[in-house]
Chains A and B, each alone.
Chain A
Amino acid sequence: MATESTPTADDTAADAVADAADLSSDEDSEIRLRGVTKRFDDLVAVDDLDLTIRNGELLVLLGPSGCGKSTTLRMIAGLEVPSEGSIEIGGEEVTETLPQKRDLSMVFQSYALYPHKTVRGNLAFPLGKMDVDDEEADERIRRTAELLEIDDLLDNKPGQLSGGQRQRVALGRTIVREPKAFLMDEPLSNLDAKLRVQTRSEVRSLQQRLGTTTVYVTHDQEEAMSLADRIAVMNDGELQQVGTPKEVYENPVNEFVAGFLGEPSMNFLDPDRLTRSDADDSVARTGSDGSVVGTASDDPFAETATVGVRPEDVGIAEEEVTTAEEAGQRADGGQAYEIDGEVLVVEPLGNAYEIEVDCGDDRVTARLRDRPGAVSPGSTVTLRLPADAVHRFGANGEVIG
């Protein structure tokens, strides 16, 4: 499932898989939060949050621990009541509706399986409160178990299952309900790294097949990037940015978002330490593609307090000065800034090299595909930062331009 999740893509995918289609819901289940605030005594956990989760999309709430993302999810679930603001699900006001009446299902970080019930009992439990007869219930359990490949575990108790299997049962318990929306609170954080990546793609394809609106909470930016239709980045109870993974990665609105997404994270530098490369000057004046960064006389960093550049955009300037012609052939069009520094560490990662460079007050991490010959710990290098890969941030941390 590599396709973007649009409603039409969901429909066709769902048609293709009959079982999944039977379990999917097609009622309107847009979740809308308006000015939602949650206070615990003096602590403001969520501050005036406006957010819409569109019908059928998978929205990831991303942020560091304590940023209010779990509280937001719990307010959608009804396990917490907002101090202010309103929540609507499918056009219906549910701000103070009991969680039992919201027709949502939730996967908890710890799975929260019922340990005294078998897997079948766990899957059957939510159906016990619904208007389904035994035959239909059995059928739903069978379909869900097949979908998640846990049909041979139905008579086991949770204690006999591995972490990954428990995870599946927890997912199954949410799916079997056919609820309006899935809420997932860091569902993969207890799995080991390999299983986490595998389950992640399964969750993604499952959600796309079912086409059920999903709110997914995580602190893992990589998980968020790979799963989400849209990501909502939160910090200190406030929403920072909402957008597709590509949008928030490429056009972060502030330093926080820029630094939180990406591994290794973005390098932040004092703009005064950067010098323009010669190639930059010459090309900037000619303006090959019309996107003139600026001429030598007008300072592009006039308002800028910090510049950010992602490790994969950092290059190393060659010893022999390239000709203007060669510079023009570079992917970045030759407009670039340079900074000198001393190499601290060179880490081979197999498919790339990560180089840490000490540039005075700042440390810069560069991720290079090939190891440049001259680079070894202790040597001095000139780092090359392509102009269009440089993000500029004002004194308040907001992006400029």
Chain B
Amino acid sequence: MSTKQSTYRHVVDSFKTALGLGESTLETSLAERVVFYVALGLTLLITLFPFYYMALASLLPESSLYSLPPTLIPQDLTLEHYRTVFGPETFPFLTYFKNSFVIATTTAGASVLVATFGAYSFARLDYRGRGVISRGVLMVYMFSGILLVVPMFQVIVWLGFVDSLASLFVTYLVQTLPVSLYMLGNYFRSIPEEIEEAAIMDGYSRLEVIFKITLPLSAPAIVAVFFFTFMIAWNEYLFASIFLQSQSVFTLPIGIEALSSSFRQVWGQIMAASLLTSVPLIVMFTYLEKFMVEGLTFGAVEG
């Protein structure tokens, strides 16, 4: 059994045991269980409350939105905000959605492609300066985004990408690659080298080995990298707010921000738009999660 899988099992089992749900006969006292339930409850409250309030605010009529104390249990609900958001005169939701989707998909795809080869070279190939390069790349990630805005803007101007989605593509790729390389590199290293050597002995070239053996085995990490990059590109606000000027190229976060800058009170609409923005990510995650959890190397080597 692979270590990863067994660690995962172990964690799951210990939680089950602690909550008194497991088949394990290990005894947990009432006090212990209370501690775990309280911790669990707090975690859920803190993470889910903002989301709950966003959903709630998107459904409340304007009047109850601004009441004091705030409404937590809804009395009457309305879909009016959603109607406004989808109405093209105030908010071209579909254009923004399309822009966001295009930029997130292409960036995530490119990130996976570039990171695969880069990470493979960091993990497996032997060449001078490998250590410096692989660590140096990660250093880029240590800089705060705002520090990079001015230099990045100059690069974007020089490339002639101002006010186009290409500017975001370049920026997001540069921003996410360090982490993608790191994640994939670590995963490649966790694949036993002997499996690749076996394929080489079986007559396959290095490149064939990557495509036939390493990549299929790395599916969980590749999916994770794709999702990570997609999420960053989907949610990113800072660079988009600076590089984009015309409404036709706005992404969702910029669109939502533009909505609030009008003089009307539009919290309901903003919340409705925000909720609609999160939905694709949630759907995507639930679908992709199973690929990420599956430990495909299981059974490769004795264990």
Interface residues of chain A, those whose CB is within 8 Å of chain B, are 77, 79, 99-100, 104-106, 108-116, 125-126, 129-130, 157-161, 163, 166, 173, 177, 190
- Would you give 27 A-B contacts (Cβ < 8 Å), ordered by A? A99-B200, A100-B203, A100-B204, A106-B197, A110-B194, A110-B302, A111-B301, A112-B194, A112-B198, A112-B301, A113-B195, A113-B299, A113-B300, A115-B217, A115-B297, A115-B298, A115-B299, A116-B217, A116-B296, A126-B202, A129-B203, A158-B299, A158-B300, A159-B299, A160-B299, A166-B302, A173-B198
> Which residue among B201, B213, B296 has the maximum number of chain A CB atoms within 10 Å of its CB?
B201
Q: Determine the chain B residues whose CB is within 8 A of the CB of A112 once the complex forms.
A: 192, 194-195, 197-198, 300-301
Q: Is the CB of B297 within 8 A of A105?
A: no
Q: Is B88 an interface residue (CB 8 A)?
A: no
Residue ID in chain A nearest B193 by CB atoms: A112
CB distance from A239 to the nearest CB of B (A): 24
Cα of A100 to Cα of B208 in the assembled complex, Å: 12
Cα of A55 to Cα of B120 in the assembled complex, Å: 39
Residue ID in chain B nearest A130 by CB atoms: B203
CB distance from B296 to the nearest CB of A (A): 6
Q: Determine the chain A residues whose CB is within 8 A of the CB of B216 once the complex forms.
A: 116
Interface residues of chain B, those whose CB is within 8 Å of chain A, are 192, 194-195, 197-205, 213, 216-217, 296-302
Q: Determine the chain B residues whose CB is within 8 A of the CB of A108 once the complex forms.
A: 194, 197-198
Q: Is the CB of A125 within 8 A of B202?
A: yes
Choice from A104, A125, A159 contacting B298 with Cβ under 8 Å: A159
Q: Is the CB of B203 within 8 A of A106?
A: no
Q: Is the CB of B301 within 8 A of A110?
A: yes
Q: Is the CB of A161 within 8 A of B202?
A: no
Q: Determine the chain A residues whose CB is within 8 A of the CB of B204 once the complex forms.
A: 100, 129
CB distance from A123 to the nearest CB of B (A): 10
Q: Is the CB of A104 within 8 A of B202?
A: no
Choice from B197, B298, B302 contacting A79 with Cβ under 8 Å: B197
Q: Is the CB of A106 within 8 A of B217?
A: no
Q: Determine the chain A residues whose CB is within 8 A of the CB of B296 once the complex forms.
A: 115-116
Q: Determine the chain A residues whose CB is within 8 A of the CB of B194 once the complex forms.
A: 108-110, 112
Residue ID in chain B nearest A170 by CB atoms: B198
Q: Is the CB of A110 within 8 A of B192?
A: yes
Q: Is the CB of A114 within 8 A of B205?
A: no
Q: Is the CB of A114 within 8 A of B302?
A: no
Residue ID in chain B nearest A185 by CB atoms: B194
Q: Is the CB of B198 within 8 A of A106?
A: yes
Cα of A104 to Cα of B300 in the assembled complex, Å: 21
CB distance from A115 to the nearest CB of B (A): 4
Q: Determine the chain A residues whose CB is within 8 A of the CB of B203 once the complex forms.
A: 100, 126, 129-130
Cα of A125 to Cα of B216 in the assembled complex, Å: 14
Cα of A46 to Cα of B216 in the assembled complex, Å: 36
Cα of A116 to Cα of B199 in the assembled complex, Å: 13
Q: Is the CB of B201 within 8 A of A105?
A: yes
CB distance from B142 to the nearest CB of A (A): 31
Q: Is the CB of B300 within 8 A of A173?
A: no
Q: Is the CB of B202 within 8 A of A105?
A: yes
Choice from B197, B199, B300 contacting A115 with Cβ under 8 Å: B300
> Which residue among B198, B213, B217 has the maximum number of chain A CB atoms within 10 Å of its CB?
B198
Q: Determine the chain A residues whose CB is within 8 A of the CB of B300 once the complex forms.
A: 110-115, 158
Q: Determine the chain A residues whose CB is within 8 A of the CB of B205 once the complex forms.
A: 100
Cα of A69 to Cα of B299 in the assembled complex, Å: 27
> Which residue among B195, B202, B213, B297 has the maximum number of chain A CB atoms within 10 Å of its CB?
B202
Residue ID in chain A nearest B217 by CB atoms: A116
Cα of A388 to Cα of B172 in the assembled complex, Å: 81
Q: Is the CB of B302 within 8 A of A161?
A: no
Cα of A106 to Cα of B216 in the assembled complex, Å: 22
Residue ID in chain B nearest A156 by CB atoms: B299
Choice from B197, B213, B302 contacting A163 with Cβ under 8 Å: B302
Residue ID in chain B nearest A116 by CB atoms: B216
Given contacts A108-B198, A114-B195, A116-B216, 19 further A-B contacts (CB under 8 A): A79-B197, A99-B201, A100-B200, A100-B203, A105-B202, A110-B302, A111-B302, A112-B195, A112-B198, A112-B300, A113-B198, A115-B297, A115-B298, A115-B300, A126-B202, A126-B203, A158-B300, A159-B298, A173-B198
Q: Determine the chain A residues whose CB is within 8 A of the CB of B201 once the complex forms.
A: 77, 79, 99-100, 104-106
Cα of A132 to Cα of B122 in the assembled complex, Å: 36
CB distance from B132 to the nearest CB of A (A): 18
Choice from A79, A99, A157 contacting B299 with Cβ under 8 Å: A157
Q: Determine the chain A residues whose CB is within 8 A of the CB of B298 once the complex forms.
A: 115, 159
Cα of A100 to Cα of B197 in the assembled complex, Å: 10
Cα of A116 to Cα of B212 in the assembled complex, Å: 10
Q: Determine the chain A residues whose CB is within 8 A of the CB of B199 once the complex forms.
A: 114, 125
CB distance from A177 to the nearest CB of B (A): 7
Residue ID in chain A nearest B213 by CB atoms: A114
Cα of A130 to Cα of B3 in the assembled complex, Å: 35
CB distance from B29 to the nearest CB of A (A): 37
Cα of A111 to Cα of B198 in the assembled complex, Å: 9
CB distance from B272 to the nearest CB of A (A): 44
Residue ID in chain B nearest A115 by CB atoms: B300
Q: Determine the chain A residues whose CB is within 8 A of the CB of B301 once the complex forms.
A: 110-113
Choice from A110, A111, A166, A173 contacting B202 with Cβ under 8 Å: A173
> Which residue among B217, B296, B297, B299 has the maximum number of chain A CB atoms within 10 Å of its CB?
B299
CB distance from A53 to the nearest CB of B (A): 17
